[in-house]
Structure 1
């Protein structure tokens, strides 16, 4: 019961290239690029997750002349908030000056699938007629949780935020799908370091850095993208030829190439910008979608699939009409 009426993005100014990383860890531009498709990533020097969230939201609002008084739902997807409480969404509401009555603001944690979950949730709120217009932002500052001596993870991720605004006047979201599976083997983790209290047991040493089993995530991602695309196509009785673009989570070009081969989809139907941003987790689909809007001549009626996968494990997709 809703339509995407605006997109926006923000990435920090500092671009760290693979050549820059060669100077601090045992890696090379060729090693990184051939395995991931990444050339550079944006890294925050002082901006917080809230700062990135605010600038992406403002970009979407200003580019599309959105009246902030019409926004009554704010959802932020992130696994790297500045605070556990208050939520980034509530802080964003305050920073934007959205102070009219009955605004619902909250964060969600679905890792790299966060924007998909956020859009699905917002669409349900709007469909219930409890809310009319939603701002959804995926935002991450992964640079603060990376072990910069671990070349298996630090070369992959970047910081940024991507925003989407939904409105309930038209029904352009044709199908949505989300799924999850408890990852007993913890293929992708970002631990919360426990605080001590006088009544607790002896403190255990827990790393505060992100860890990832790359080969298992690769296999999961290939399944998750195919599963998510197949589901929404079947729900709408469409085939891949009916789709103008697929905007996947920007994790790794090799993953997308593998899916394209398995599903016999032309690779150029997948919109990719991972080369310039790296993996920005919950921000990546929003950033890529905004880039797609800016660089491609989309036509009214074009059908687009957004598809994500991430830690949890989580995965899902949105099929909508432009």
Structure 2
């Protein structure tokens, strides 16, 4: 008997405030055309004053539970991928656990920046395969608008806020790639690249939250190379290739990165779920947001083979192959 971590439900939440590119023109030296041409982003959502990462995560989690037809009392574990938690501690996950009324099990955060959701999925899969949990909610939630440098036109226009969530449940499979559920994962990191993308503050350094810093050209180069490589590595673990993929659901950082990665994987863009134009880069929230929107659009259907891949500060990168 083979146990698989099967997707039972998906959901997302976006803050009410929509910020078009034109809103930045009065703040920094930029234009709508400049932002679109370099990133593909047209608009993003920003959290309201006082709206927190855990609040958004809880709303996405509840949407995923509703989609799965489950209650918080049926969940064994809850994982939140985030780089922008409400507080230094306790974890955002424990706050989400409280907000949705989950009074049993355990909750913890995963921090791998934009790759956080992929890392969280891999951890949830391991919990299910080891028998430590039968049902796990995996959430990506971010309020990146709180760590942006509003004088840096190269970065402040790229990011947005939001949350997405999946509910995974243990199910018996045949042990073949025809099984529904997570089929393979691939995780990587290399701390020698930390200066390419980081926040210049922290508890043990400045005692402040800091602001985001990025060497965009270098991140772009590493992203295209490493995202295609990790996707191929995960597929090869189960004897599959790009030709077998129904949908790539990538980290929504930059349309040029998404397009270049798909080309390297030899997957046409009409088999790539793209939401970056509407959400911007929501870091760990971007993949579950795209999965939820992709399902709502009617793109993602039961039985589809999906590859998700992401790269973020660290550098940390990875991918997951899942049959929906």
TM range (shorter): over 0.9
- Give the CA deviation at 1:3: 0.5
- Give the CA deviation at 1:7: 0.8
Aligned to 1:236: 238
Aligned to 1:176: 185
- Give the CA deviation at 1:260: 2.6
1:36 aligns with 2:39: yes
- Give the CA deviation at 1:67: 1.9
Does structure 1 conserve the Cα–Cα contact (< 8 Å) formed by 2:186 and 2:230?
Answer: yes
Does structure 1 conserve the Cα–Cα contact (< 8 Å) formed by 2:9 and 2:66?
Answer: no
Give the length in aligned residue pairs.
313
The Cα offsets for residues 46-84 of structure 1, whole Å up to 9 and x where unpaired, read as 211111111111111123321211101011110001111
Does structure 2 conserve the Cα–Cα contact (< 8 Å) formed by 1:44 and 1:159?
Answer: yes
Aligned to 2:26: 23
The Cα offsets for residues 203-242 of structure 1, whole Å up to 9 and x where unpaired, read as 9798811000000100110012111111122112112221
1:93 aligns with 2:97: yes
Structure 2 unmatched ranges of 5 or more = 174-180
Aligned to 1:273: 275
TM-score normalized by the length of structure 1:
0.93
Distance between the aligned counterparts of 1:204 and 1:114, measured in 2? 24
- Give the CA deviation at 1:299: 4.0
Distance between the aligned counterparts of 1:298 and 1:252, measured in 2? 21
Structure 1 unmatched ranges of 5 or more = 196-202
- Give the CA deviation at 1:184: 4.3
Distance between the aligned counterparts of 1:73 and 1:205, measured in 2? 31
Aligned to 1:83: 87
RMSD: 1.7
Distance 1:243 1:264, change over 3 A: closer
Aligned to 2:64: 60
Aligned to 2:113: 111
Aligned to 2:319: 317
Where in structure 1 do 4 or more consecutive aligned residues deviate above 6 Å? 203-207
Q: How does 1:1-322 map to 2 (within 5 A)?
A: 1-46=4-49, 47-100=51-104, 103-171=105-173, 172-184=181-193, 186-194=195-203, 208-322=210-324
